[in-house]
A and B are shown apart, each in its own frame.
Chain A
Amino acid sequence: MPRPSILRGWFLIRRDLPHRRRLALTAVSFLLPVLLWCLVSYVPWIWHPDVKIELSAEREGVTTVFTAGDHVSRDFFPKFAEAVRGENKALLAARAAGKPESGAKRRNQKLLRQIAPLAVDHGWLAHEESQNDAALYQIWRDLASGAKTATRPALTAENLDIIRANWQQLSALSPEFSYRKLPDEPLLKLIPQGRPANPVYLPAPDEVLRAGLRDFTADAPDGELTMLQRYQRSLGIILWGFFWSCLIGIPVGILCGVFDFFSKLFEPFVDFFRYMPAPTFSTLLVAVLLAGDAPKIALVFIGTVFQMVLVISKTTRLLDPSLLEAAQTLGAKPKQIVTRVVIPGIMPNLYNDLRILLGWAWTWLVIAELIGVKSGLTEFIETQGRFRNFDRVFPVIILIGVTGFVTDQFLSWLHGLFFPWAGRSGAFSRSVAGVVTWPFRMFAAASKERLPVSRPPGAATPESDSP
């Protein structure tokens, strides 16, 4: 039986696949990791060694307080829940014996707040109102009467019973929240609830998405930067570092590529220096340039410029020698050869080099932002990572990745636009290039027409002789 046509022709030896298939594969290359991530996150019987606490309780006499969102191991969680159950049992026993504890108003107030994360998740309470006791009191009432039902997570029957029992005591004293009218004897605690989860360093995609949305849209607390401002600051460091590096690296690289004099004068030292890891200079840079962005920019510069000199000198050397010979035959002086032949000749490759070196500069960002006073996106990654809020760390890492990828793709597309004669360029970018360069071409054509008139005959420049 012949295979259907969709399955045929995927594995061609050293031949390009049709355009549509290539696009499809590109999409799949992104979808595969995401799919894998979803699989590990959402299929309950794969991995999931932890329990993510959705409803927490405090234990008496223990300083470690777990809050909703914390991860604990699967072995520990039942012990945790059992400890709280034990406290409830002891409480009931004391009550039955007629000797309940007293002075538990504060404990009860905290106990009321046990349901705050649940209420926030269901949209019954705004995020910043999780200590609004009056509103929480009403939610207890609604949960007890059944006017509100929790769905994610649903409360266990055990907890619903506790809510009803507690509400009976609470409502007997006051229908509205009032600290003074809280029962003096302790109420029953809700039993912790949780759901299976992967370790805290691998949050599920939806958690990452939600945390990212919240962080990127939220206003920053006083004295801190919003995510957009952090992003701008990080971009600034990269771009300035790269700019200074280009300012030095490109001319030196070209000179080394053309003249053996400069090559022997600079390259051995550059070759030696680039093996010294840029981060080892960080304390030195801070001492010299003080705090602020300057040492960070300098680090990106040091990390990039030496590679840049070597890469560009190599690119320059690879220029087709016949072009140089032709220019020399036509009597070009060394300065003319550099400006009229070498630079235009290496331009397409130089552009590609810079594109790759910009990617190289990005790798220094994180280290640069850690030196001196921590700043930008990295400071956020650092602080949140320290508190194990990895769901908030991932969006920022992804943002850096996306920025790098998109810039690179865009620059690569521009390559086709700037240098249509070198390499491939799609029909679309050719037409854009046509539109963008139209005024220049018109201008050039017009000036060419005028050329013979304004010049003495026989003094044509070498390139105007080329067809």
Chain B
Amino acid sequence: MKSLFRLGSKALALLALSGTLHAEPLKIAYSDWPGWVAWEIGIQKGWFKEAGVEVDFQWFDYVPSMDAYVAGKVDAVCMTNGDALVTGATGKPSVGIVINDYSNGNDMIVGAPGIQSVKDLKGKKVGLEEGFVEHLLLLTGLEKNGMKPEDVTIVNTPTNETPQVFGSKAVDAIGAWQPNSGQALKTVPGSKPIFTSADAPGLIYDLLAVSPESLEKRRDDWAKVVKVWYKIADYIRDEENLDDVLKILSARVKISPEEYEPFLKGTYILTLDEALKRWEKADGLGSVYGSNKVVDAFNVKFKVYEKAQDTEKYLDPSLTKEIAAKK
């Protein structure tokens, strides 16, 4: 009788195991921001398999990646903290469980020749994706220079099309991130960045935003993903690996490693210890919580959405903290 029971429990355990083995891979949408392209290192080196989690990273353009998330085609999406609020207010809420990096210059407003500063933008056309991260950057830049949103005309342009639109001289400035902004700078000689995320560090944090259901159902799997991320972050931050890192990242967006190298400076990849500091609740842009508050107030003020969001619900540092505790 006892042995029968043991057999039964073994079978049950096996069943449970096979259940996890056959679990659907976690579907994650990612796009061309350097901090997210970094996931590619974990994919190519097989670190997710090593960690025992099945993942399916799907490559998108940025805004379509968020559309796919809202439509429920993926379990998680890589987006900025501000766009997570926008997506939450207008489509589907999410929970940020990883801070990949903060933007340190790679997001830029690029002005055509003759436009030397944000002030010169008055009455000009700016091509960017309306309501998303570069719009936030532009509005911040305008505010810092004592200007109003009405001072410029926004031309809604997909970020990966900005270089061509800028090159066609249809707009006087664009808002884009690397590698698109770099492409735009190359396309129009004499153009230059007039306002970048380095002028407002901490305004833009780049997150892995997971759907609340998926996080609840498969918390253990997501914990493994978070763990792989810190392995990737350590790998990138080690100078010895620079060439390998550049090779993997640049190949994903099809430019040369030499061109890619400056982007690493404009994307500050956070190690575990650095990330923990950013996860602390505080006011101001030094904390992701503070950044969320600032961005939320901003979005409401400029009517990107109507109602203020409960910004703390969009963040969950517990997975990172558990990894830090085990160390």
Count residues of B near A (Cβ-Cβ below 8 Å).
Answer: 29
CB contacts (< 8 Å) of B261 on chain A: these are 65, 110
Least distance between A364 CB and chain B CB atoms (Å): 23
Residue of B at shortest CB range from A384? B254
Q: Are B189 and A73 in contact (CB under 8 A)?
A: yes
Least distance between B260 CB and chain A CB atoms (Å): 8
Contact A76 B258, CB 8 Å, known A106-B239, A386-B164, A387-B183:
no
Q: Could you tell me the distance between the alpha carbons of A110 and B262 in the complex, rounded to whole angstroms?
A: 12
Contact A388 B187, CB 8 Å, known A106-B242, A131-B243:
yes
- Which A residues form the contact surface with B (CB < 8 A)? 58, 62-67, 70, 72-73, 75-76, 106, 110, 113, 131, 221, 383, 386-388
Q: Are B186 and A64 in contact (CB under 8 A)?
A: yes
Q: Could you tell me the distance between the alpha carbons of A110 and B242 in the complex, rounded to whole angstroms?
A: 12
Q: Does residue B185 face the partner (Cβ distance < 8 Å to A)?
A: yes
Q: Could you tell me the distance between the alpha carbons of A67 and B257 in the complex, rounded to whole angstroms?
A: 10
Q: Are B262 and A70 in contact (CB under 8 A)?
A: no
Q: Are B258 and A113 in contact (CB under 8 A)?
A: yes
> Which parts of B266-318 form the interface with A (CB within 8 Å)?
266
Q: Are B266 and A63 in contact (CB under 8 A)?
A: yes
Contact A58 B189, CB 8 Å, known A106-B242, A131-B243, A386-B164:
no
Contact A66 B254, CB 8 Å, known A131-B243, A386-B160:
no
CB contacts (< 8 Å) of B254 on chain A: these are 383, 387
Q: Does residue B151 face the partner (Cβ distance < 8 Å to A)?
A: no
Q: Does residue B175 face the partner (Cβ distance < 8 Å to A)?
A: no
Q: Are A67 and B189 in contact (CB under 8 A)?
A: no
Interface centre among A63, A67, A106 (most CB of B within 10 A): A63
Least distance between B255 CB and chain A CB atoms (Å): 7
Q: Does residue B9 face the partner (Cβ distance < 8 Å to A)?
A: no
Q: Does residue B259 face the partner (Cβ distance < 8 Å to A)?
A: yes
Chain A's interface: helix, strand, loop or mixed, by majority? loop
Q: Are B242 and A65 in contact (CB under 8 A)?
A: no
Q: Does residue B127 face the partner (Cβ distance < 8 Å to A)?
A: no
Residue of A at shortest CB range from B186? A64
Contact A70 B243, CB 8 Å, known A63-B262, A383-B254:
no
Name the one of A64, A76, A113 contacting B182, with C-beta atoms under 8 angstroms.
A64
Q: Are A76 and B190 in contact (CB under 8 A)?
A: yes
CB contacts (< 8 Å) of B266 on chain A: these are 63
5 residue pairs of the A-B complex, CB under 8 angstroms, read: A63-B265, A65-B261, A113-B258, A131-B247, A386-B163
Interface membership of chain B positions 223-257, coded 1 if the CB is closer than 8 angstroms to chain A and 0 otherwise? 00000000000000001001100010001001111
Q: Could you tell me the distance between the alpha carbons of A72 and B189 in the complex, rounded to whole angstroms?
A: 7
CB contacts (< 8 Å) of A131 on chain B: these are 243, 247, 257
CB contacts (< 8 Å) of B190 on chain A: these are 76
Q: Could you tell me the distance between the alpha carbons of A221 and B248 in the complex, rounded to whole angstroms?
A: 13
Q: Could you tell me the distance between the alpha carbons of A386 and B61 in the complex, rounded to whole angstroms?
A: 14
Q: Are A110 and B258 in contact (CB under 8 A)?
A: yes
Q: Are B186 and A70 in contact (CB under 8 A)?
A: yes
Name the one of A65, A75, A383, A386 contacting B259, with C-beta atoms under 8 angstroms.
A65
Q: Are A63 and B182 in contact (CB under 8 A)?
A: yes
Least distance between B318 CB and chain A CB atoms (Å): 35
Q: Are A66 and B186 in contact (CB under 8 A)?
A: yes
Q: Could you tell me the distance between the alpha carbons of A106 and B240 in the complex, rounded to whole angstroms?
A: 10
Least distance between A63 CB and chain B CB atoms (Å): 4
CB contacts (< 8 Å) of A58 on chain B: these are 258
Q: Could you tell me the distance between the alpha carbons of A197 and B190 in the complex, rounded to whole angstroms?
A: 19
CB contacts (< 8 Å) of A70 on chain B: these are 186
Q: Could you tell me the distance between the alpha carbons of A65 and B182 in the complex, rounded to whole angstroms?
A: 9
Q: Are A64 and B185 in contact (CB under 8 A)?
A: yes
Least distance between B74 CB and chain A CB atoms (Å): 15
Taking A67-B256, A110-B258 as given, write out 18 further A-B residue pairs in contact, using a Cβ cutoff of 8 Å, ordered by the A residue number. A58-B258, A63-B193, A63-B265, A64-B186, A64-B262, A65-B261, A66-B186, A67-B259, A70-B186, A73-B189, A76-B190, A106-B239, A113-B258, A131-B247, A131-B257, A386-B160, A386-B163, A387-B183
Contact A76 B189, CB 8 Å, known A67-B258, A106-B239, A131-B243:
yes
Q: Could you tell me the distance between the alpha carbons of A312 and B4 in the complex, rounded to whole angstroms?
A: 79
Residue of A at shortest CB range from B161? A386
Q: Could you tell me the distance between the alpha carbons of A301 and B30 in the complex, rounded to whole angstroms?
A: 34
Q: Could you tell me the distance between the alpha carbons of A221 and B186 in the complex, rounded to whole angstroms?
A: 26
Contact A387 B189, CB 8 Å, known A65-B261, A65-B262, A131-B243:
no
Q: Could you tell me the distance between the alpha carbons of A65 and B263 in the complex, rounded to whole angstroms?
A: 10
Q: Could you tell me the distance between the alpha carbons of A62 and B265 in the complex, rounded to whole angstroms?
A: 11
Residue of B at shortest CB range from A385? B164
Least distance between B241 CB and chain A CB atoms (Å): 12
